Chains A and B, each alone.
Chain A
Amino acid sequence: MTSKYEGLDSPLRRKLLMGAAGVAAASMLPPMALAQQFPTAAVNTTGLAVTDTEVTVGILHSVTGTMAISETGSVQAEKLAIEQINAAGGVLGRKIKFIQEDGASDWPNFAEKAKKLLVNDKVAAVMGCWTSASRKAVLPVFEQYNGMLYYPTFYEGLEQSKNVIYTGQEATQQIIAGLDWVVKEKGAKSFYLLGSDYIWPRTSNKIARKHIENFQKNKVVGEEYFPLGHTQFNSVINKIKLQKPDVIYAIIVGGSNVAFYKQLKAAGIDLTKQTLLTISVTEDEIDGIGGENIAGAYACMKYFQSLDNPNNKEFVAAFKKMWGEKTVIGDVTQAAYLGPWLWKLTVEKAGSFDIDKVAAASPDVEFKGAPEGYVKVHKNHHLWSKTRVGRAKANGQYDLVFETADLVEPDPFPKGYQ
């Protein structure tokens, strides 16, 4: 059997990863030797928080405020990854210690906390942010103080930085593959675009409209945006009933989704007959919406909790063991889990914690143990990943109905879509 975790070819692997006994064993044997093999002075030439036995990273998410609902899963996944990495011997023989800061759903606060982590705590990497607004707020801080951010959310693209690794999908990987699938599979000709009123839905719908009109030669019969937290969708549902689009393409975010899907169902729109495609509803949101209200809808993303592969089964079991049987795992939670692992693999490839060397070593780093199957870092710091379409079931899980044969190349600055 070949190991899926690089640099760890032991039959004890599972035990090392999961068991408490493994922690003791791991700290006794090879890592010690590994740490001596890489003396601190050699692997840390820029004064990061790295000692002979420990390395400190930051976790920067909102655990209070409106975004706490979404970002909780990311924090849980990152902590799980860190615990597993430590159980398997750490990074270059050093245990990962983390400092967690609360962005509190407030973008300037994210920038403050990022500066604190980089300047005061000297962390070797930060796992964090969720909204594009918070990422845009911390980006100049990471570039000025030369930090490394692992950002987990699927997002609108049009960005690239030496100091960021984007572990979620950018717009073209998600939107275009999904729209092509729905046209091929459902023979769709007309689309109604819906979204929340801020940067991500507007930018991604711009790409969607270009693709529908210019490349597929199909029709957009309506496009509408609602304030965040909007709870009244009766009017737009009436319009949808009159227009009868082949596909409702809905990228509403957060709690508004609950209102939207409940009202769709109450208005008699049956999602087993009316095709609806979303890229913003994961298993997390379904928890609030209620599976019976969204059953039949299609979602296009790269990960579903129900994915049937050994990596994912192990991941889901470990996640539930750590955070409770009732937790669900959505696309972004999985992408957050990739952060610490990719960082570990990159540091070991670079043989150094120095930010510049880690950034330079990032392209072509592969993670064979990714729950989504397999991922690889592109030279533009986004991930090659598969695009998948799932169909929502009443129990709150997705059935996989389609996946791309190969990994899709990330293209954050697509030509002809701007």
Chain B
Amino acid sequence: MFGYTFGELGSILAMQTFAGLILFSIFLLMALGLAIIFGQMGVINMAHGEFMILGAYMTYLTSHVFQNYAPGLFGGYFFVAMAVAFVVSGALGLLVEWALIRHLYARPLDTLLATWGLSLILQQAYRSIFGPREVGVTLPDWMMGSLPVTETIEVQINGLFVMGLTLIITGIVALLLFKSKWGLQVRAVTANRTMSGAVGIDTRRVDRLTFGLGCGIAGIAGSAFTMIGSTGPTAGQLYIVDTFLVVVFGGAQSLLGTIFSALTISQSQSTLEFFLTGSMAKVITLLIVIGLLMLRPQGLFVLKVRK
């Protein structure tokens, strides 16, 4: 079949599933921050890609600091870099919420424009600070390799790393949403903002924290992408379309929806890519998503919300 033996087809299946899982983790990392901000606040953050790239630049800076001041600890710099990325992106998120977003809560379309403008400002800022060219983020050696499973199947270490990271972050977000007081408040505000305010929830504070958290997660995602992608002023734009695709397809207000949507898109993309070409796989994936959205305009999972 397709010019391969059954043994080869078996390995193809295994390796493509693995490639699909890596893609799934990446999609999920990209979309998580966007989904919780949109789900809770109804704000579509067009600058999401730029928050990711901020995380990538923070990783680049951290790698330089370690190279110059603590070369012995270089192997572990990535963990510090992710923390820095989260804190810096999250802090910028809080600042943006305070300076920009909170004035526009009743006007969702205006937040779209405002965050679009913000994304252009951030791109230009990166260009001025880091230069128009891509910067090279050096990774510790242990991250760049693969573990042989069988003769034809190999598992990439950075792929495993991204998967583990996604698992941990998704877990933390789920715990926060469903087990913490903040999570309870978020879910209350999502269900009915006015009523939540009336029973004494400080909706302003919930919004600010949510926006900061969403941006912080984007920063971690960006940090993780330095392993596989490019870091330049406009690189955020490369990810943003896929991110929106995942969020819209999943039904924007549901964590579970985001997970399933990322899984569906990544697996179909990865499987199709093997038997077709890269460009064709993308086209067909898009067609499938459009088709399903016509059947279910609200996305895969819809939260029951009182309007």
Q: What's the minimum C-beta distance from B238 to chain A, rounded to whole angstroms?
A: 4
CB atoms of A265 and B144 under 8 A apart: yes
CB atoms of B133 and A234 under 8 A apart: no
Taking a contact as CB atoms closer than 8 A, the residue among B146, B238, B277 that contacts A255 in the complex is B238
- 13 interchain pairs, CB-CB under 8 A: A66-B237, A69-B134, A72-B133, A224-B277, A234-B18, A235-B273, A239-B274, A255-B230, A262-B227, A262-B228, A266-B157, A268-B156, A288-B134
Decide if the interface of chain A is mainly helix, strand, loop or mixed.
helix
Interface centre among A241, A256, A266 (most CB of B within 10 A): A266
CB atoms of B146 and A266 under 8 A apart: yes
Q: Please, which residue of chain B has its CB at the minimum distance from the CB of A268?
A: B146
Q: Which of A92-100, A169-177, A225-233, A334-342 contacts B (4 or more CB under 8 A)?
A: A225-233
Interface centre among A65, A230, A238, A241 (most CB of B within 10 A): A238
Asked, given contacts A242-B8, A242-B12, A288-B232, whether A236 binds B156 with beta carbons under 8 Å apart, the answer is no
CB atoms of B156 and A267 under 8 A apart: yes
B247 beta carbon closer than 8 Å to chain A: no
Interface residues of B in 114-161 (CB under 8 A from A): 127, 132-139, 143-146, 152, 154, 156-159
In the docked arrangement, what's the CA distance between A299 and B68, Å? 31
Contacts of A268 in B (CB 8 A): 145-146, 154, 156
Asked, given contacts A72-B132, A266-B156, A288-B136, whether A235 binds B16 with beta carbons under 8 Å apart, the answer is yes
Contacts of B132 in A (CB 8 A): 63, 68-69, 72
In the docked arrangement, what's the CA distance between A292 and B136, Å? 10
Q: Please, which residue of chain B has its CB at the minimum distance from the CB of A223?
A: B277
CB atoms of B227 and A288 under 8 A apart: no
Q: Please, which residue of chain B has its CB at the minimum distance from the CB of A288?
A: B134
Asked, given contacts A236-B273, A255-B238, whether A266 binds B231 with beta carbons under 8 Å apart, the answer is no
In the docked arrangement, what's the CA distance between A257 and B235, Å? 12
In the docked arrangement, what's the CA distance between A292 and B67, Å? 15
A289 beta carbon closer than 8 Å to chain B: yes
Interface range on chain B (Cβ under 8 Å from partner):
35 or more
Contacts of B282 in A (CB 8 A): 227
Contacts of B22 in A (CB 8 A): 234
Interface residues of A in 23-66 (CB under 8 A from B): 63, 65-66
Taking a contact as CB atoms closer than 8 A, the residue among A63, A227, A232, A262 that contacts B23 in the complex is A232
In the docked arrangement, what's the CA distance between A68 and B127, Å? 10
A280 beta carbon closer than 8 Å to chain B: no
Interface residues of B in 233-291 (CB under 8 A from A): 233-235, 237-239, 269-270, 273-274, 277-279, 281-282
Q: Please, which residue of chain B has its CB at the minimum distance from the CB of A197?
A: B279
In the docked arrangement, what's the CA distance between A266 and B154, Å? 10
A290 beta carbon closer than 8 Å to chain B: yes
Contacts of B277 in A (CB 8 A): 224-225
B4 beta carbon closer than 8 Å to chain A: yes
A78 beta carbon closer than 8 Å to chain B: no
Q: Please, which residue of chain A has its CB at the minimum distance from the CB of B147?
A: A268
Contacts of B164 in A (CB 8 A): none
B91 beta carbon closer than 8 Å to chain A: no
Taking a contact as CB atoms closer than 8 A, the residue among B19, B133, B231 that contacts A284 in the complex is B133
Contacts of A285 in B (CB 8 A): 134
Contacts of B159 in A (CB 8 A): 234, 266
| Per-residue contact bits, chain A 250-277, to B (CB 8 Å; 1 contact, 0 not) | 0000011111001101111000000000
In the docked arrangement, what's the CA distance between A238 and B278, Å? 13
Contacts of A232 in B (CB 8 A): 19, 23, 26, 228, 269
Asked, given contacts A69-B133, A268-B145, A288-B135, whether A258 binds B229 with beta carbons under 8 Å apart, the answer is yes
Interface centre among B26, B273, B281 (most CB of A within 10 A): B273
Q: What's the minimum C-beta distance from A106 to chain B, rounded to whole angstroms?
A: 13
Q: What's the minimum C-beta distance from B274 to chain A, rounded to whole angstroms?
A: 5
CB atoms of B228 and A290 under 8 A apart: no
CB atoms of B279 and A235 under 8 A apart: no
B15 beta carbon closer than 8 Å to chain A: yes
In the docked arrangement, what's the CA distance between A293 and B19, Å? 20
Q: Please, which residue of chain A has its CB at the minimum distance from the CB of B120?
A: A64
In the docked arrangement, what's the CA distance between A262 and B134, Å? 14
Known: A259-B230, A265-B144. 9 other contacts (CB 8 A): A66-B237, A72-B133, A197-B279, A226-B278, A229-B237, A232-B269, A262-B229, A266-B157, A268-B156
CB atoms of A238 and B19 under 8 A apart: yes
Asked, given contacts A227-B282, A239-B274, A268-B154, whether A255 binds B228 with beta carbons under 8 Å apart, the answer is no
Contacts of A72 in B (CB 8 A): 132-133
In the docked arrangement, what's the CA distance between A286 and B127, Å? 18
Asked, given contacts A266-B145, A266-B157, A266-B158, whether A255 binds B235 with beta carbons under 8 Å apart, the answer is yes
A287 beta carbon closer than 8 Å to chain B: yes
Q: Please, which residue of chain A has its CB at the minimum distance from the CB of B271?
A: A235
Q: What's the minimum C-beta distance from A282 to chain B, rounded to whole angstroms?
A: 11
